[in-house]
Structure formats: structure tokens, C-alpha cells
Amino acid sequence: MNAGTWIGIVGGIVGLLVGVGAVVATGGSTGIYMGLGMLALFGGMFYLFYRLFFKPMINASRLQKIGLPGKAKILEVRDTGVTINNSPQVKLVLEVKNNFGQKYTTQCRVLVSRINPGAYQPGMELPVKIDPKNEMNVVIDFTETAKDVTSSASIFSQPDQTMLKSELEQLQKDNDAINLSGRPARAIIKKYTWLGVNVNGNNPYVELQVEVLPENTPAFSGTTKGVIAEASVNKYQPGQEIFVKYDFYDNSKIVINHS
């Protein structure tokens, strides 16, 4: 955590104490009670903010420097209901494997970018840093994650880039055919999976598991792939309703109807 954050914490504490002191000094006989009330109210708010925001930052910063490296598999992703700078915070239930090969389950919290809400999914493996004094205290090792992303990008820029281009071109041809002859329907998104690639900027290439709801035939489940506009990512999250077209004779062929 940088010096500016520490300055903010210390400045907030000093400001609170100065304010309480001023109220006590000028409030006469009731000043001490008003000061204690302010101290309890604002002190409680500051403590809550510290527990939710500053303490995890301090812990993560410390473990990035002194933590022991390990690997973890995501077992569950839970919403915490906390949002910071428009980025939701999630709780990850992890199966951690340390350098001795031992496995155990613990939890950590992490912010998720609003333009990549599917960044953490059950089954994913992540590098982590483990507190040498408390193995249950674990944070994601963003240094290693960044290396992995750079490495993947470098590999992708060679033959995989051609493969992706071919895949997207074939997907577009298939989607065009379904758009021409397919039947329209409503669909409910069951799962959103980012496929690790952004197209033409920050537009994610994703796979959606959907429940298709035709008007006069039974509902059915299926999957579809497509590129989603960056600004529309929140409209394609689990539980959201979208419009699709599907092949009446082959229900496995589904395309997102952007029109």
C-alpha cells in the first residue's frame, strides 16, 4: 500500500481527534458528551471502512512481499454485496496447494473489474501467496498472474492468432445463416464465461449458457458464443434476459440476436 494511503488514514484519524477536541473545548457542559458521541459515530464508521477496505489492502500488500508461493483452485465465487469504484468485491472459496503438496480450503476477497465480471470462475487455478504464520490467510499473487497473462498474449500473438481469426470468421458465417432462417426467442442467461480474448479493443469474446424460451414449443438449454460490446457486458450476466435466434431443426445452434 502506497504512502498516500497511509497519509489518508493518519490524516483521517488526526482530523477526527481535532474535531472532537474542538467540540469538547467549545461545547460547555455538554461538550464532552457531544465529543464522545462524535467519537463513537465517526470512529465506528472509520473502523468499518478500515475493515472492509484498508485492512485487506494492507494484508495483500504485505503478503505480496513476504508470502509463500502456492497454487489454488476456485471452488466457489460468492458476492459480498460490496462495491468499490464500481468494481464488485467477491469472496473466493479456494482449495490451496502449498509447496509441500498439502491441500486445504480457505477464503479470500478480491475486486472484480466491471468490464470483466467473469474473471473468476469455479475450476480456475490461480497463483497465490500464503501467510507463513497463518496458512489460512491467502491472497492472489497478481505478480504471477500478470506474468501468465503476458505469456499467454505472447503465445496467442503467433499461430493462435490465426486460429482465433478462423474461429471468429466461421462463427460469423454460422451466425449469419441462423440469423437468416432461425426462429427468434427469449432466453435467460445461466452462465457467462469469458474466453480469455478481447476483440477490437476491450470487447470480450464469451460463451453463454442459456435457457431458451420459444413461444409455442418447450424450453431447452444450450450454449452460444459471441463478441459482446464492452459497454453491454452487464446486460449479459446470469439471470439477465436476452433475445436469440435458434435453428428449429437443430436446437444446439443458437445465436445472440443483437438487433
Decide: residue 7, CB within 10 A, 0-12 exposed, 13-18 middle, 19+ buried.
exposed
Residue 128 belongs to a domain: yes
Residue-level pLDDT at 184: 92
Do 114 and 46 share a domain, yes or no?
no
Instruction: Give the chain's domain count.
Output: 3
Residue-level pLDDT at 216: 85
% of the chain with per-residue pLDDT over 70: 69
Question: Tens of pLDDT along 43-96?
Answer: 677 666 666 666 777 788 888 888 888 889 989 988 888 777 677 888 999 999
Residue 54 belongs to a domain: yes
Reported as a pLDDT band with limits 50, 70 and 90, residue 185 is very high
pLDDT at 13 over 80: no
Reported as a pLDDT band with limits 50, 70 and 90, residue 137 is very high
pLDDT at 157 over 80: no
Residue 154 belongs to a domain: no
Which one of 43, 64, 85 terminates a domain? 64
Do 237 and 173 share a domain, yes or no?
yes
Residue-level pLDDT at 51: 67
Reported as a pLDDT band with limits 50, 70 and 90, residue 29 is low
Do 90 and 31 share a domain, yes or no?
no
Could you tell me which residue, 184 or 258, shows the higher pLDDT?
A: 184
Do 177 and 248 share a domain, yes or no?
yes
Residue-level pLDDT at 214: 93
Residue 220 and residue 227 in contact, taking contact as beta carbons nearer than 8 Å: no
Residue 105 belongs to a domain: yes
Do 252 and 177 share a domain, yes or no?
yes
Domain that holds residue 26: 3-64
Do 173 and 236 share a domain, yes or no?
yes
Which one of 111, 140, 169 terminates a domain? 140
Do 170 and 192 share a domain, yes or no?
yes
Do 189 and 240 share a domain, yes or no?
yes
Residue 153 belongs to a domain: no
Reported as a pLDDT band with limits 50, 70 and 90, residue 257 is confident
Question: Tens of pLDDT along 198-232?
Answer: 887 778 888 999 999 998 889 999 999 988 888 88
Do 164 and 252 share a domain, yes or no?
yes
Of 14-28, 87-101, 106-120, give the lowest mean pLDDT range: 14-28
Residue-level pLDDT at 59: 80
pLDDT at 2 over 50: no
Do 52 and 82 share a domain, yes or no?
no
Do 179 and 238 share a domain, yes or no?
yes
Residue 151 belongs to a domain: no
Residue 108 belongs to a domain: yes
Residue-level pLDDT at 1: 47
Question: Tens of pLDDT along 159-175?
Answer: 456 777 788 888 888 88
Do 169 and 235 share a domain, yes or no?
yes
Which one of 31, 46, 64 terminates a domain? 64
CA angle 55/61/66 to nearest 5° reads 120
Residue 148 belongs to a domain: no
